[in-house]
Amino acid sequence: MANHFSALKRARQTEKRTAVNRANTSQFRTQLRKFRQALASGDKAEALKQFPATVSMIDKAVKKGTIHKNTGSRYKSRLNARLVAVK
């Protein structure tokens, strides 16, 4: 365990940030899963309803640093292509 005050503080900060990052990643993956399930079920109305929420969650993940911006763009592009294919 850390002995210096600054090291103890960094350990506390790391725990808090890890919890926040884990929560952000979990929300992001949950929303992706919901959208993919809507696509897999073939429910166009549900997929159309989930798409804006999914894109918003991807943008938030990019903004918070959970994923890289190019990764976010790739996700949005591929998900949109799958949505168009369902239509």
Residues shown for the chain: 87
Taking a C-beta distance cutoff of 8 angstroms, is the pair 41, 49 a contact? no
- Amino acid identity of 37? Q
Per-residue model confidence as pLDDT tens digits over 20-51? 999 999 999 999 999 999 999 988 999 999 99
CA distance readout (Å), 45 to 51, 57, 86: 10, 19, 10
pLDDT value at residue 1: 67
Q: Residue 59 corresponds to which tokens in the numbers above?
A: 């943008």
pTM of the model: 0.83
79: pLDDT strictly greater than 70: yes
Fold entry, domain 5-86: Methane Monooxygenase Hydroxylase; Chain G, domain 1 (1.20.58)
Domain boundaries, the chain: 5-86
